[in-house]
């Protein structure tokens, strides 16, 4: 495993076609730890900590999705891994969309997991976008981690205690001002006007009981991205890469191995 802190901290390991893993909001690349050994058996993984998060927390803003995508595009190029398959979870899915649109030569195929084109469409989402910055200010990242991350808080099958502990630890490690800036940037993201310009083969995965990003977001992505394939996992929520790991990995590997796609 090789690592670097300039300009982004990253992990690179495994054997096979390159696969870039992009983490969710305020949860660095370590969030993939429960599944990365399995993936590394078939893929050369590139797992960055996005700007302002984890071991890239020292990097200054802006923390916009556009900046995060530019960082990843540069990293893929510097590592000689273009084009790569790119998998983004939640906010990482927003970054993956931006990357595929603005830097198409870097992205071979796209996997979007529990993510969205625009996350302020419903009254509940707008209320959460107003409330969350206040919670970050009042109780800080560690308090928010204890409050938000519960076994069943993301819908579907509850997470195991070790999975809860992992996410709480990762969220609690954030710096307050950077977490606020990253949250505002995520709330401002809107890919609806250019989804049809994403040309890469795309797999969209959602959880049928996802409370954080309900299934209608997956449908919107599938309608916007030409030829996208969509799969909904029953009884799964926003933490499906943990609670439904084997089902998710089987789906992912079957899709990536499909002979329809050029090698």
Domain assignments of the chain as residue spans, ordered by start: 2-256
Nearest-angstrom CA–CA distance, 116 and 104: 19
According to the model, what pLDDT value does residue 3 have? 46
Listed as ranges, residues in the chain with pLDDT below 50 are: 2-5, 260-263
Q: Cβ contacts of residue 102 below 8 Å, gap of 6+?
A: 66, 69, 70, 73
The residue count of the chain comes to: 263
Whether this model's pTM surpasses 0.75? yes
Residues contacting 262, CB < 8 A, separation 6+ = none
The alpha helices in 158-244, defined as continuous H runs, are: 161-172, 176-188, 215-224, 240-243
DSSP 63: -
The fold adopted by the segment(s) 2-256 is Rossmann fold (3.40.50)
Residue 258 has what pLDDT? 81
Q: What CA–CA distances, in Å, run from 7 to 28, 49, 76, 102, 174?
A: 15, 10, 12, 20, 19
Residue 11 — φ and ψ, nearest 5°? -115, 135
Which of 192, 218, 1 lies closest to 98 in space, CA to CA?
192
Torsion of CA 81, 220, 187, 191, to 10 degrees: 50
d(CA 130, CA 23): 23
pLDDT at 7: 83
Distance from C-alpha of 257 to C-alpha of 242, rounded to nearest angstrom: 22
CA 49 vs CA 9, 196, 256: distances in Å: 6, 28, 24
Residue keyed to tokens 């579907």 = 156
Confidence at residue 262, expressed as pLDDT on a 0 to 100 scale: 42
């Amino acid at each position: 495993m090789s690592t670097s802190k300039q300009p982004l901290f990253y992990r690179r390991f495994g054997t096979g076609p390159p696969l870039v893993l992009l983490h969710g909001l305020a949860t660095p690349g370590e969030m993939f730890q429960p599944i990365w050994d399995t993936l590394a058996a078939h893929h050369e993984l590139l797992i960055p900590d996005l700007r302002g998060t984890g071991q890239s927390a020292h990097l200054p803003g802006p923390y916009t999705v556009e900046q995060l995508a530019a960082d990843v595009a540069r990293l893929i190029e510097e590592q000689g891994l273009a084009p790569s398959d790119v998998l983004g979870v939640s906010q990482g899915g927003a970054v993956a969309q931006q990357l595929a649109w603005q830097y198409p030569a870097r992205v071979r195929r796209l996997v979007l997991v529990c993510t969205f084109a625009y996350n302020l469409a419903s009254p509940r989402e707008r209320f959460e976008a107003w409330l969350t910055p206040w919670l970050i200010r009042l109780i800080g990242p560690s308090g928010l981690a204890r409050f938000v991350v519960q076994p069943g808080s993301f819908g579907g099958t509850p997470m195991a205690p070790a999975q809860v502990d992992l996410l709480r630890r990762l969220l609690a490690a954030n710096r307050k001002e950077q977490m606020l800036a990253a949250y505002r940037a995520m709330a401002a993201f809107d890919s609806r006007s250019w989804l049809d310009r994403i040309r890469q083969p795309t797999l969209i995965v959602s959880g049928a009981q996802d409370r954080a990003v309900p299934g209608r977001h997956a449908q919107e992505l599938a309608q916007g991205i030409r030829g996208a394939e969509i799969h909904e996992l029953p009884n799964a929520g926003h933490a499906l890469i943990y609670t439904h790991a084997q089902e998710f990995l089987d789906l992912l590997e079957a899709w990536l191995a499909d002979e329809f796609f050029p090698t």
